Amino acid sequence: MSAGKRTKNDLKITIMGGGPGGLCMGIKLREAGFENFTIVEKSDQVGGTWNHNRYPGCACDIPSHLYSFSFDVKPDWSRPYAPQPEILEYMEGIAEKYGLLPFCRFGQGVKRADWSDANSTWTVTLDDGEQIESDIVVSAIGMFNSIVLPDIPGLDDFEGTKFHSSQWDWDHSLVGETVGVIGAAASAIQLVPEVAKEVGQLHVFQRTANWVLPKEDDPYTEETLAHFRSDPSAAQAVRQQIFDGIESGQAFYDRAVGEEMEQAGRDALKVVEDPALREKLTPTHMWGCKRPLFSNEYYSTFNRPNVELVTEDITRITPDGIVTSDGRERKLDTLVLATGFSSIEFLSAIEVTGRDGVDLEKAWADGAQAYQGITTSGFPNLFMLYGPNTNQGSLITMIEWEAEHTLKHIERLVTEDLAWIDVKADLEAAYNDQMQKDIAAVEPWMDGCNNYYRSSTGRVVTQWPKNMTTYREMIKEIDPDAFESRSR
């Protein structure tokens, strides 16, 4: 036991990431009187994925009144599904409004984090070698932090312009060019319709057809926006309506509802004029087996004379094009890799060592796992926002609840004068065993398609198998008996 009980500001806290999670955690800490924290962000500004992803057509796929914090609902989104610049502006406004910018360190990523059993502290090492000693580490790096590059022979040999969709080269004009896009999932269905409008020729290389449903996304009228601005309760009512709609949705769990979604997808496909092309764009897996996608323009883009869908496998990339399994080479000026992110790494995207020197990557050899998605055994005073098996509904809504839960743990360290807390290994194991049983009962996730949900071992590590409300109720309070602890 230490000579004097420490105060809230004696606790040194490092938050990894300046996206929605890091910002929300910072706000909750300040509201509770914690001021001794640093938000470490590898880019030059806040925003997270909404800062990194700036490709044409980038937008949210959750209606924006819900894709915002409950304590600061933006009343005047320009349309139901806001575009990336508007979401980034919202995040920047949040950081400024709640006084978080002085707590941010930009241009520095976290290289590793190491726990000291002797000192009961974390040493966070930045990319430039600087070290920050912390009592608590909060990971807000989320799921989408490591880009995926396709494993295709010759990728490095391409001599034209090449970039990943999350690293869009806005200095390079695509006007009149022949462009290839590898990928047909979340980013591709947003950028392809925009790119097609300016290129000379567009080749879209599709490995698997995805369900792409329409969305109600007409811009709000000036009259509606004026109403939202003058009556904040109106925006809150829209937010609640969206939440209730998502919570009552049973597409993953009720096969009849899933079939309705699939029929809506087939109806959307009717816009494709060529029957053979329509067939190639029609998925063969259940709705929900892969990430649900929404677009009002993707399918109709394939009616354009300058757009080709390529479904033959890519065999290699040459210095000036792509060769497919039929032996054909398509010459390209620019190659866009719309191949997404590795969503299964979570915190193991960086090097982390915990108690007794245990390595997080080894601890997660069977796939990322945590207790309630927030803590993982063997790594004291370490909390994750949007960690393993918490992907459901609105990311920002889930993050907000997780930050509130994490704050309760941090406050406990002060009120009980604890050196550290760590979830019990047996309880974490039992929790995750039940998690996988619940996931196995969700039929579409078991349909065998290639998705981002699974680790290399086959374990589903991203999805929460129930609704958001159930998750909130589970983490509303902490159970001290679920954790080991040590007094100072």
Q: Give 255-320 as a DSSP string.
A: HHHHHHHHHHHHHHHTT---HHHHHHTS--SPTTSS--EE-SSHHHHTTSTTEEEE-SPEEEEETT
Torsional sign, CA 85, 88, 94, 95: negative
Q: What DSSP character marks residue 59?
A: B
Strands (E), 338-443: 341-342, 351-353, 382-384, 418-423
Burial of residue 136 (number of CB atoms within 10 Å: 0-12, 13-18, 19+): buried
Q: Which domains does the chain have, with CATH numbers?
A: 8-46+100-146+342-487 (3.50.50.60), 149-339 (3.50.50.60)
Query: Which residue type does 380 have?
Result: P
pLDDT for the residue 1: 43
Taking all residues of the chain, what is their mean pLDDT, rounded to a whole number?
94
Rounded CA separation 359/247 (Å): 37
* Neighbour tally for 483: CB within 10 Å: 20
pLDDT for the residue 3: 54
Residue 388 · residue 347 · CB < 8 Å: no
Q: What DSSP character marks residue 138?
A: E
Question: Which residues in the chain come in under a pLDDT of 70?
Answer: 1-3
CA 467 to chain centre: 17
Please provide the size of the chain in residues: 488
Rounded CA separation 352/244 (Å): 38
Q: How many CA atoms lie within 13 A of 380 on its CB side?
A: 25
Q: Are strands 382-384 and 351-353 parallel, antiparallel or unpaired?
A: unpaired
Q: Looking up tokens 């600087």, which residue turns up? A: 130
Rounded CA separation 379/428 (Å): 12
pLDDT for the residue 342: 78
- Describe the crossing of helices 232-248 and 222-230 by its angle, rounded to 10 degrees: 100
